[in-house]
A = this chain, B = another copy of it.
Amino acid sequence: MTATALTPAEMTDRTGVSIDTLRYYEKEGLIQNVGRSESGHRRYSDEDVLWVEVLRCLRDTGMTMEQLRHYCDLGAQGDHTAPERKRLLTEHRAKVEEQIAARKEALKLIDHKLSYYEESSS
């Protein structure tokens, strides 16, 4: 099923997400069915790595924990929630587009201010 089984420390190396945050995400339901060793230690799969990368991508673009929790809950409920998940993702996509547009405007404003400093070199 899963080729590798990463320890929490290895998972942190792979994803850049701290052990504490990984546990927090799991507690909040954003990472589900995390494997365990016989002794109870977490063992992450390659799929977990990919999923955490998705989580970080969505978080870093402003999706809140609450929204992510909802999205994950829907996923756990089965295929019939696919349309709703598609809707959420499409909605978020639009927000990311807006963020890009806003940042392009910001660049204009910054460049305008920078033009005042034109003659001086750094």
Q: Are A96 and B107 in contact (CB under 8 A)?
A: yes
**B-facing mask of A78-116, CB < 8 A → 1, else 0?**
000011011101101100110110111111011101100
A55 to chain B, nearest CB (A): 11
Given contacts A89-B113, A99-B99, 12 further A-B contacts (CB under 8 A): A54-B109, A57-B109, A61-B102, A83-B117, A83-B120, A85-B117, A89-B110, A90-B114, A93-B114, A96-B103, A96-B107, A100-B100
Q: Are B57 and A122 in contact (CB under 8 A)?
A: no
A66 at the interface (CB under 8 A from B): no
6 pairs, A vs B, C-beta closer than 8 Å = A54-B109, A93-B107, A93-B110, A93-B114, A100-B104, A103-B103
